[in-house]
């Protein structure tokens, strides 16, 4: 190899430093993230690519192995004191079994010229799954996407990394290549030359129609300015006609301006020369170029030594120009990989690691939950999303619930309540509107949307959406009178208390629908909060999915182990409580010890009738001034009774409504949904994680092999990139 190496005398030491550094980076295997300056040799089949490479590197590819190259070969030359060649394979998307086989392939020799190479290359081809001859049957394919790596070291080697790719071809050889192979090779070539840090050596034999070479067109596509494409013309010795020679000379002289970097011409060993002797090769080349017309060409573009020098300069220039960009690429890639690695969290193979991991998720979750409950929204940007402002949203709908109950919760307007409702009643929404927007319950009082997420998860725990119609308007007194007449017993002059509870039940018949829908809405808000908080605290989707199932449905706990109560049961308690409050309110007896009610009762007894309008302190009154009732004679006792029932009902209804609204908000919502020790928001806590069995931890937080390997890969990549930065800055 020393014979072809010209020592690259013209190159400054400073440039050399860049190249050395990039070579060191190459060994770190970071080129997937950060493409490094490199060189790739492309051209048609038999254009002389391998021959050019041999001339450049001094390494002879075994000829017998294959007629043409069936895979990309990365040749890495290094200057070292001792000679050696190491052949290995870089697999392309291997299956796990194949990966082992491919990565395990490694052969080396301690001489650059060795008789072992044909066998080594043949073995490598087999591992890469390449069909070497038709006798191999259906096994293997014509081309492999794996890359054969040949590392050549020696005292005379120049630092050079160059990639030999299969030659492109246009026609299928039956039994050897297929239509899809044509594209496979074209794509492989394209992938290499597309990378903007790659220098393209476009090899074109002199004896073809050079202008129409596919490879030059392909190179022009990816490198339109021709700034990184160098033309290499081969087989000048086969030119016979002077016209052909003249075309070649014009190209080398730069008469054609398609390639900024121009063309060089080299002469390699011909097919007949099986000696493979590099010394004789160089002599032949020199002899040819000593003749006309070649001897008229500029010497720095003729012969392999000149080509080598030119490539050296090119690589150095390219490397120096790219150097700062490589550095910033490395920094960007390092940042990205670090973030990915951090996102994966600590390794989670042991029970302790798994418990610690979930413990962190749980405590982060608890923090968010507490901020959400205490309205400490500035402490985490999670709350930049208004939908996550838990306590505020719950308060908003609680107030709307109270308003709806006040304005429309009763079935029928009371007799003197002429204003009734606020007149802003919306038209009844149809069912699909209602299903789409549960906040219609609150009329136009509320802007927020009730999340739909829980509707699937929570199944039949959430009630159907409900829309509250305006109270009926009619003659309430008349209505009460009818009820009274149809149900009276032998009571003397007055009515039984049952009359009150009966009319109350009727008047409050919408409460159930409103209340259950409201508690459901609050539940959906809480549910969405929990789900989103978990997303925030547990970024790993696999863990989150498992954890979510555990939180939602709970776990019975194996024998002797504590179970875990899931969200469904916790939510159910809030609904059960709402049902309980409703049933208590509408039980047989109407009960109140509110002095305002007694006051009404006393007035009735003293006045002997309900003809006095309830006082303005009446809790049910909607700030209506008392109406003047006409004086009734004693004969109208039926009317008195009716009126009495009306007054008491109105008073009782108002008192019951206030306490009911409060107690629903206080118990079903604030206690059972938000604060209870066994409420939904406590579904994930340190304690919950502490109580998980090893098995549960492993199911939820254990990692599969792929995750583990991905973490290791990222960790290695971060290490390599860190190392790379150090090298660049040294």
Residues lying near Mg ion in the complex (CB under 5 A): 49-50, 69
- Answer yes or no: are the C-beta atoms of 209 and 195 closer than 8 Å: no
Q: How far from chain centre, in Å, is Cα 11?
A: 48
566: left (phi over 0), alpha (psi -120 to 50) or beta: beta
Quick check: 409 binds ligand GDP (CB under 6 A)?
no
| CB nearer to ligand GDP: pick between 154 and 236 | 236
User: Minimum distance from CB of 168 to ligand GDP (Å)?
Assistant: 10
User: Minimum distance from CB of 55 to Mg ion (Å)?
Assistant: 13
Which residue in the set 38, 47, 398, 528 belongs to the binding site for ligand GDP (CB under 6 A)?
A: 47
| Partner from ligand GDP, Mg ion, none binding residue 271, C-beta < 5-8 Å depending on class | ligand GDP
User: What does the DSSP assignment read for 301-358?
Assistant: GBSHHHHHHHHHHHHHHHHHHHHHHHHHHHHHHHHHHHHHHHHH-S---SHHHHHHHH
User: Minimum distance from CB of 121 to ligand GDP (Å)?
Assistant: 13
| CB nearer to Mg ion: pick between 234 and 696 | 234
- Count other Cβ atoms within 10 Å, centred on residue 507: 22
- Answer yes or no: are the C-beta atoms of 66 and 125 closer than 8 Å: yes
Quick check: 148 binds ligand GDP (CB under 6 A)?
no
Measured at the CA of 717, the angle between CA 711 and CA 719, to 5 degrees, comes to 105
Considering only 138-146, 232-240, 338-346, 709-717, which stretch makes contact with ligand GDP by CB under 6 A?
Answer: 232-240
Interaction pattern, residues 167-186, with ligand GDP; x per rule: CB under 6 A: x-------------------
Q: Cβ-closest residue to ligand GDP?
A: 270
Site for ligand GDP in 5-44 (CB under 6 A): 43
Which residue in the set 208, 211, 238, 375 belongs to the binding site for ligand GDP (CB under 6 A)?
A: 238
Parallel/antiparallel/unpaired status of strands 198-205 and 38-43: parallel
- List, in sequence order, every residue forming a beta bridge with 265; answer none if it has no partner: 233, 302
| Partner from ligand GDP, Mg ion, none binding residue 309, C-beta < 5-8 Å depending on class | none
Q: How far from chain centre, in Å, is Cα 546?
A: 17
- Answer yes or no: are the C-beta atoms of 645 and 500 closer than 8 Å: yes
Which residue in the set 5, 23, 40, 48 belongs to the binding site for ligand GDP (CB under 6 A)?
A: 48
User: Minimum distance from CB of 248 to Mg ion (Å)?
Assistant: 22
List of residues 6+ apart from 168 with CB closer than 8 A:
42, 43, 44, 45, 182, 185, 186, 189, 214, 215, 218
| CB nearer to Mg ion: pick between 69 and 316 | 69
| CB nearer to Mg ion: pick between 49 and 267 | 49
For residue 556, the number of C-alpha atoms closer than 13 Å in the C-beta half-sphere is 2
User: Minimum distance from CB of 329 to Mg ion (Å)?
Assistant: 31
Considering only 47-55, 151-159, 601-609, 614-622, which stretch makes contact with ligand GDP by CB under 6 A?
Answer: 47-55
Which residue in the set 240, 243, 271, 274 belongs to the binding site for ligand GDP (CB under 6 A)?
A: 271
**DSSP conformation class of 157:** P
| Partner from Mg ion, ligand GDP, none binding residue 48, C-beta < 5-8 Å depending on class | ligand GDP
| CB nearer to ligand GDP: pick between 47 and 57 | 47
- Answer yes or no: are the C-beta atoms of 244 and 208 closer than 8 Å: no
E strand or H helix at 49, and its extent? helix 49-57
Considering only 233-241, 246-254, 399-407, 484-492, which stretch makes contact with ligand GDP by CB under 6 A?
Answer: 233-241
| Partner from Mg ion, ligand GDP, none binding residue 238, C-beta < 5-8 Å depending on class | ligand GDP
| CB nearer to ligand GDP: pick between 268 and 503 | 268
| Partner from Mg ion, ligand GDP, none binding residue 55, C-beta < 5-8 Å depending on class | none
Cis peptide before 306 (omega within 30 of 0): no
Considering only 114-122, 207-215, 267-275, 479-487, which stretch makes contact with ligand GDP by CB under 6 A?
Answer: 267-275
User: Minimum distance from CB of 61 to Mg ion (Å)?
Assistant: 7
| CB nearer to ligand GDP: pick between 172 and 434 | 172
| CB nearer to Mg ion: pick between 9 and 133 | 133
User: Minimum distance from CB of 168 to Mg ion (Å)?
Assistant: 12
| CB nearer to Mg ion: pick between 49 and 479 | 49
The rounded distance, in Å, linking the Cα atoms of 189 and 221 is: 12
- List, in sequence order, every residue forming a beta bridge with 199; answer none if it has no partner: 39
- Answer yes or no: are the C-beta atoms of 716 and 13 closer than 8 Å: no
- Answer yes or no: are the C-beta atoms of 104 and 132 closer than 8 Å: no
| CB nearer to ligand GDP: pick between 73 and 528 | 73
List of residues 6+ apart from 623 with CB closer than 8 A:
none
| Partner from Mg ion, ligand GDP, none binding residue 57, C-beta < 5-8 Å depending on class | none
Quick check: 508 binds ligand GDP (CB under 6 A)?
no
Q: Cβ-closest residue to Mg ion?
A: 50
The rounded distance, in Å, linking the Cα atoms of 486 and 490 is: 13
Instruction: Based on DSSP, count helices (H) and strands (E) in the chain, helices before strands.
Output: 23, 11
| Partner from ligand GDP, Mg ion, none binding residue 679, C-beta < 5-8 Å depending on class | none
Considering only 253-261, 263-271, 567-575, 589-597, which stretch makes contact with ligand GDP by CB under 6 A?
Answer: 263-271
3-state helix, strand, coil in the chain (%, to 5): 55, 10, 35
Nearest to 370 by CA among 355, 384, 380: 380
Residue with tokens 């309008």: 613
User: Minimum distance from CB of 286 to Mg ion (Å)?
Assistant: 24
Quick check: 389 binds ligand GDP (CB under 6 A)?
no
List of residues 6+ apart from 556 with CB closer than 8 A:
563
Nearest to 230 by CA among 285, 294, 301, 160: 301
Rg (CA), the chain: 44
Note every long-range contact of 627-631, with CB atoms under 8 Å and residues 24 or more positions apart, other chains counting.
627/416
Both structure tokens of 284: 């032949």
User: Minimum distance from CB of 48 to ligand GDP (Å)?
Assistant: 3
Measured CA to CA in angstroms, residue 399 lies from 339, 522, 636 at distances of 44, 12, 43
| Partner from ligand GDP, Mg ion, none binding residue 389, C-beta < 5-8 Å depending on class | none
User: Minimum distance from CB of 312 to ligand GDP (Å)?
Assistant: 21
The rounded distance, in Å, linking the Cα atoms of 141 and 126 is: 10
Quick check: 46 binds ligand GDP (CB under 6 A)?
yes
Which residue in the set 5, 38, 50, 308 belongs to the binding site for ligand GDP (CB under 6 A)?
A: 50
| Partner from ligand GDP, Mg ion, none binding residue 43, C-beta < 5-8 Å depending on class | ligand GDP
Site for ligand GDP in 59-88 (CB under 6 A): 68-69
| Partner from Mg ion, ligand GDP, none binding residue 237, C-beta < 5-8 Å depending on class | ligand GDP
Quick check: 268 binds ligand GDP (CB under 6 A)?
yes
- Count other Cβ atoms within 10 Å, centred on residue 610: 25
**Contact residues for ligand GDP (CB under 6 A)?**
43, 45-51, 68-69, 167, 234-235, 237-238, 267-271
């Amino acid at each position: 190899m020393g014979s072809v190496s010209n020592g690259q005398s013209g190159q400054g030491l400073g440039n050399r430093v860049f190249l050395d550094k990039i070579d060191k980076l190459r060994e770190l295997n970071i080129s997937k993230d950060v493409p490094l300056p490199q060189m790739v040799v492309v051209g048609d089949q038999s254009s002389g690519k391998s021959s050019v490479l041999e001339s450049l590197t001094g390494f002879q590819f075994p000829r017998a192995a294959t007629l043409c190259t069936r895979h990309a070969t990365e040749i890495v030359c290094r200057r070292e004191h001792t000679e050696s060649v190491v052949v290995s394979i870089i697999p392309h998307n291997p299956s796990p079994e194949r990966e082992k086989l491919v990565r395990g392939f490694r052969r080396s020799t301690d001489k650059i010229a060795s008789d072992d190479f044909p066998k080594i290359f043949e073995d490598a081809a087999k591992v890469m799954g390449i069909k070497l001859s038709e006798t191999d049957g259906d096994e293997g394919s014509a081309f492999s996407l794996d890359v054969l790596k040949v590392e050549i070291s020696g005292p005379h080697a120049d630092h050079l990394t160059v990639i030999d790719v299969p030659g492109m071809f246009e026609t299928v050889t039956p039994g050897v290549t297929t239509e899809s192979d044509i594209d496979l090779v074209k794509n492989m070539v394209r992938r290499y030359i597309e990378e903007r840090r790659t220098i393209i050596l476009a090899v074109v034999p002199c004896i073809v129609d050079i202008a129409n070479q596919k490879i030059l067109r392909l190179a022009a596509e990816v490198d339109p300015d021709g700034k990184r494409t160098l033309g290499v013309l081969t087989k000048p010795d086969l030119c016979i006609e002077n016209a052909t020679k003249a075309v070649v000379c014009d190209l080398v002289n730069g008469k054609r301006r398609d390639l900024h970097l121009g063309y060089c011409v080299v002469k390699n060993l011909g097919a007949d020369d099986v000696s493979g002797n590099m010394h004789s090769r160089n002599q032949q080349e020199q002899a040819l170029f000593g003749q006309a017309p070649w001897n008229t060409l500029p010497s720095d573009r003729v012969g392999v030594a000149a080509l080598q020098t030119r490539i050296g300069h090119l690589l150095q220039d390219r490397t120096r120009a790219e150097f700062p960009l490589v550095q910033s690429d490395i920094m960007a890639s390092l940042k990205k990989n670090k973030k990915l690695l951090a996102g994966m969290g600590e390794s989670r193979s042991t029970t302790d690691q798994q418990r610690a991991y979930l413990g962190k998720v749980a405590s982060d979750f608890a923090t968010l939950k507490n901020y959400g409950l205490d309205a400490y929204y500035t402490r985490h940007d999670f709350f930049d999303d208004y939908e996550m402002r838990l306590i505020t949203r719950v308060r908003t709908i609680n107030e709307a619930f109270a308003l709806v109950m006040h304005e429309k919760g009763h079935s029928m307007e009371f007799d003197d309540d002429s204003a009734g409702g606020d007149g802003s009643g919306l038209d009844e929404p149809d069912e699909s509107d209602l299903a789409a927007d549960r906040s219609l319950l609150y009329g136009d009082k509320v802007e927020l949307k009730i999340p739909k997420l829980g509707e699937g998860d929570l199944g039949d725990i959430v009630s159907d959406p409900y829309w509250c119609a305006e109270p009926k308007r009619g003659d309430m007194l008349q209505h009460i009178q009818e009820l009274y007449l149809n149900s009276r017993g032998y009571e003397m002059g007055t009515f039984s208390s049952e009359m009150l509870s009966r009319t109350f039940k009727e008047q409050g018949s919408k409460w159930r629908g409103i209340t259950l829908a409201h508690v459901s809405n609050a539940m959906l808000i809480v549910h969405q909060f929990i789900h989103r908080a978990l997303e925030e605290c547990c970024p790993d989707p696999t863990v989150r999915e498992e954890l979510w199932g555990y939180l939602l449905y709970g776990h019975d706990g194996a024998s002797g182990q504590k179970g875990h109560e899931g969200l469904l049961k916790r939510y159910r308690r809030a609904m059960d409580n709402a049902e309980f409050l409703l049933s208590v309110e509408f039980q047989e007896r109407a009960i109140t010890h509110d002095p305002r009610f007694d006051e009404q009762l006393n007035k009735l007894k003293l006045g002997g009738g309900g003809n006095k309008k309830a006082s303005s302190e009446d809790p049910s009154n909607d700030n209506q001034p008392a109406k003047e009732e006409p004086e009734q004679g004693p004969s109208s006792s039926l009317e008195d009774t009716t009126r009495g029932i009306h007054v008491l009902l109105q008073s009782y209804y108002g008192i019951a409504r206030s306490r009911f609204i409060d107690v629903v908000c206080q118990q079903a919502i604030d206690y059972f949904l938000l604060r209870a020790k066994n409420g939904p928001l406590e579904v994930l806590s340190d304690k919950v994680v502490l109580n998980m069995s090893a098995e549960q931890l492993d199911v939820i937080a254990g990692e599969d092999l792929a995750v583990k390997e991905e973490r290791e890969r990222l960790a290695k990549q971060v290490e390599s990139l860190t190392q790379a930065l150090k090298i660049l800055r040294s």
